[in-house]
């Protein structure tokens, strides 16, 4: 198995980390390249044992997968650079937000392209990943792709257009959770806890709740915490009065809208 990561930033590193940890790929089966930051590639090589793609791009020619992991504004230049080395033996996996399979195929022709939306929890094998693929991805290749993606988390196959929402919920989602955790920590400190205790208690609360949510209905869980006329009811009332659900709805809607815009901007 051989995978070449074109783009070697946060998302590529999270996936590389996950694949190596889960032993689905050996470090020597992974190669990395980027636009210009050689120091970054050397750091990845030193940390994970991966290869750096040579000048002649030989690695790309016989890759089973090519991961496109650059910002949407950079995808056209990146594809122009590699398109002559790609064949239909390779599955192109794009994690680039918004950019459609059709746009990618306009650059590379009718090659097997999968549009994938993972998140950075891939690093610990816990991504929530959405995927859609072009008709050129054969059943056998679909199988290989699902195996690769499921090694770094859950995989949900969706219609391509739904990937904008997947991006808004699952791709960007960890950042909302971290923001919520930051806010909880700040509020805990303001209400009298030490910074260390606030951090520890928030971390443990998120950890426990995340695990509980794996097996139980979210609403049932919430009801079990909420005593009539108690503290949780008072806290939740404040969330409701401040239109928490509307805030979250706007957040997801705006993120999905931005994904569509990015797709149009760079099509
Ligand atoms: N971060 C996240 O949580 C998630 C990100 N994504 C998507 O992943 C993609 C990458 O995001 P992220 O990793 O955060 O971004 P980063 O900015 O961390 O990394 C971008 C990478 O792309 C490289 N690059 C830029 N231009 C080219 C080029 N022409 N050829 C080859 N490589 C190039 C950069 O190289 P150099 O440093 O040399 O310029 C850099 O290695 C985005 O499209 C994003 O939408 C998807 C899901 C989650
Ligand atoms: O912020 C972004 O555009 C990317 C896509 C999903 C997460 N990060």
SS (H, E, C) 238-259: HHHHCCHHHHHHHHHHHHHHHH
- Evaluate whether 49 touches 30 at the Cβ level (below 8 Å): no
The pLDDT tens digits of the residues spanning 40-86 come to: 999 999 999 999 999 888 889 999 999 999 999 999 999 999 999 99
The pLDDT of residue 3: 97
The pLDDT tens digits of the residues spanning 111-144 come to: 999 999 999 999 999 999 999 999 999 999 999 9
With a cut of 90, say whether residue 245 has pLDDT above it: yes
**155 with 51, same domain?**
yes
**29 with 139, same domain?**
yes
- Evaluate whether 66 touches 96 at the Cβ level (below 8 Å): no
Is 40 inside any structural domain?
yes
- If one counts the domains in the chain, the total is 2
Is 41 inside any structural domain?
yes
Among 131, 160, 189, which residue terminates a domain? 160
The confidence band for 146, taking pLDDT boundaries of 50, 70 and 90, is: very high
Gyration radius (Cα) of the chain, Å: 21
Cα atoms in the Cβ-side hemisphere of radius 13 Å centred on 247: 8
Residue partners of 134: CB distance under 8 A and separation at least 6: 101, 105, 110, 112, 113, 114
**67 with 123, same domain?**
yes
Mutate to test the pocket of ligand 2, among 95, 97, 170 (most ligand atoms within 8 A of CB): 97
Question: If DSSP states are collapsed to H, E and C, what string results for 154-189?
Answer: EEEECCHHHHHHHHHHHHCHHHHHHHHHHHHHHHHH
Tell whether 118 is in a known binding site: no
The confidence band for 240, taking pLDDT boundaries of 50, 70 and 90, is: very high
**126 with 195, same domain?**
no
**85 with 34, same domain?**
yes
The pLDDT tens digits of the residues spanning 95-108 come to: 999 999 999 999 99
Is 165 inside any structural domain?
no
**190 with 95, same domain?**
no
Among 107, 129, 160, which residue terminates a domain? 160
Tell whether 112 is in a known binding site: no
**69 with 193, same domain?**
no
**146 with 26, same domain?**
yes
Is 166 inside any structural domain?
no
The pLDDT tens digits of the residues spanning 147-195 come to: 999 999 999 999 999 999 999 999 999 999 999 999 999 999 999 999 9
**43 with 89, same domain?**
yes
User: Please, which residues bridge with residue 112 across strands?
Assistant: none
Residue found by looking up tokens 């195996």 in the block? 147
* CATH number of the CATH domain containing 201: 1.10.3730.10
The confidence band for 224, taking pLDDT boundaries of 50, 70 and 90, is: very high
**87 with 120, same domain?**
yes
Measure 67 CA to ligand 1 centroid, in angstroms.
11
**144 with 249, same domain?**
no
Is 167 inside any structural domain?
no
In whole angstroms, what is the distance from residue 226 CA to residue 28 CA?
A: 52
Q: Which of 7, 236, 12 is nearest to 120 (CA)?
A: 12
Measure 171 CA to ligand 2 centroid, in angstroms.
6
Is 168 inside any structural domain?
no
Residue 144's domain comprises: 3-160
In angstroms, the Cα distances linking 266 to 43, 73, 96, 119 are 30, 6, 11, 21
Report ipTM (2 d.p.): 0.99
Mean per-residue pLDDT over the chain, rounded: 97
**103 with 22, same domain?**
yes
What is the rounded end-to-end Cα distance, in angstroms, of the chain?
31
Percent of the chain exceeding pLDDT 90 equals 97
Measure 96 CA to ligand 2 centroid, in angstroms.
8
* CATH number of the CATH domain containing 149: 3.40.50.720
């Amino acid at each position: 198995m051989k995978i070449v990561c074109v783009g070697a930033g946060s998302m590529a590193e999270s996936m590389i980390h996950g694949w190596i940890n889960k032993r689905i790929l050996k470090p020597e089966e992974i190669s990395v390249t980027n636009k210009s930051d050689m120091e970054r590639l050397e750091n990845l090589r030193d940390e994970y044992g991966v290869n750096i793609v040579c000048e002649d791009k030989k690695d790309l020619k016989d890759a089973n997968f090519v991961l496109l992991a650059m910002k949407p504004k950079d995808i056209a230049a990146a594809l122009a650079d590699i398109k002559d080395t790609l064949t239909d033996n390779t599955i192109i996996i794009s994690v680039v937000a918004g950019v459609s399979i059709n746009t990618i195929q306009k650059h590379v022709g009718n090659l097997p392209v999968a549009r994938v939306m993972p998140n950075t929890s891939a690093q610990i094998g816990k991504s929530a990943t959405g995927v859609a693929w072009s008709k050129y991805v054969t059943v056998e290749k679909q199988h290989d792709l699902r195996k690769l993606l499921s090694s770094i988390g859950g995989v949900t196959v969706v219609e391509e257009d739904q990937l904008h929402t997947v991006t808004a919920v699952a791709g960007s989602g960890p950042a909302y959770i971290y923001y919520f955790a930051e806010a909880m920590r700040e509020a805990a400190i303001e209400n009298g806890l030490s910074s260390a205790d606030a951090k520890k208690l928030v971390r443990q609360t998120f950890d426990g709740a995340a695990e509980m949510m794996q097996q139980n209905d979210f609403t049932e869980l919430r009801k079990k915490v909420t005593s009539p006329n108690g503290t949780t009811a008072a806290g939740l009332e404040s969330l409701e009065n401040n239109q928490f659900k509307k805030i979250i709805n706007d957040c997801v809607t705006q993120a999905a809208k931005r994904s569509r815009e990015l797709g149009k901007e760079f099509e």
